[in-house]
Amino acid sequence: MRNIMSNKFGIIGAMEVEVATLKENMQITRTLTRASMEFCEGKIGDTDVVVVKSGIAKVNAGICVQILVDEFHVTHIINTGVAGSLDARINIGDIVVSSDACYHDVDATIFGYKPGEVPQMGMREFPADKWLIEKVKVAVKAADPDLSVFEGRVCSGDQFIADDTVKERIKTTFGGLCTEMEGAAIAQASCLNNVPYVIIRAISDKADGSGSVDYPTFEKKAAHDCAALVEYMLKN
């Protein structure tokens, strides 16, 4: 069994609301700005962490991972945030943990690649770390036994997906559970650096459009829920 406290975790949120609680609850020993991102290094409990707001979309996310690896020598990457559901079973507020991640907006099929496959990468999906996946599942049940957690594929692209037809295309083509704008880039950069990663996403809408939520209110709640999960993971 691995000891979580012997590792150093890079924790990425795209928006400030997703990392604010974590920064408030950690012991910060150093703050460093690189590529217009503020990296807060310190501890959550007894575990070494670096918490950072990457900014939105794929390029920001990929750059963020590389800085965490090169500058801070993190051993694991955790990405938290909000996503839109692609599966009607998943309710607003439920948690998706990545089994893997892929792009839904990459298309080199004219050259014989699969939809979503980056040319010459040798893979379309970037597998998440099994140990981290199990840690997330345990944390969800400990934090809120009534909360449902789904393990599956996270689909990412530089698009905010609101159209039902586009959602159905992504679900049918890629078999994803949710869609967002950073996860696959974090997954790709992590895999290229041989750093284990996991994505944790709180769901903001029903795939079939049957649910509604006050987004600013939910965003704060989702950020708090994800922060609580990360804190539990790092302290247990």
Burial class of residue 100 (count of CB atoms within 10 Å of its CB; 0-12, 13-18, 19+): buried
Q: Is 38 a catalytic residue?
A: no
Euclidean distance between CA atoms 209 and 151, whole angstroms: 21
Identify the CA nearest to 126 among candidates 44, 23, 198. 198
pTM (2 decimals)? 0.93
Q: Is 89 exposed, middle or buried (0-12, 13-18, 19+ CB in 10 A)?
A: exposed
CB neighbours of 3 closer than 8 A, spacing ≥ 6? Answer: none
Among the listed residues 8, 26, 59, the one whose alpha carbon sits nearest the alpha carbon of residue 231: 26
The tally of CA atoms less than 13 A away on the side-chain side of residue 37 is 29
pLDDT digits (tens, 9 = 90+) for 195-206: 999 999 988 776
Question: Above 90 in pLDDT, residue 222?
Answer: no
Any catalytic annotation for residue 125? no
pLDDT score of 6: 74
Q: List, in sequence order, every beta strand (DSSP E) within the chain.
A: 8-13, 27-34, 37-44, 47-53, 76-85, 95-103, 126-127, 149-156, 176-180, 197-203
C-beta atoms surrounding 113 within 10 Å:
16
Contact 218, 204 (CB under 8 A): yes
Which pLDDT does position 144 carry in this prediction? 81
* pLDDT over 70 at 4, yes or no: no
Domain architecture of the chain: domains with CATH: 4-235 (3.40.50.1580)
pLDDT digits (tens, 9 = 90+) for 155-213: 999 998 888 899 999 999 999 999 999 999 999 999 999 999 999 998 877 666 655 56
Percent of the chain with pLDDT over 70: 93
Check 180, 205, 225, 231 and give the catalytic one: 205
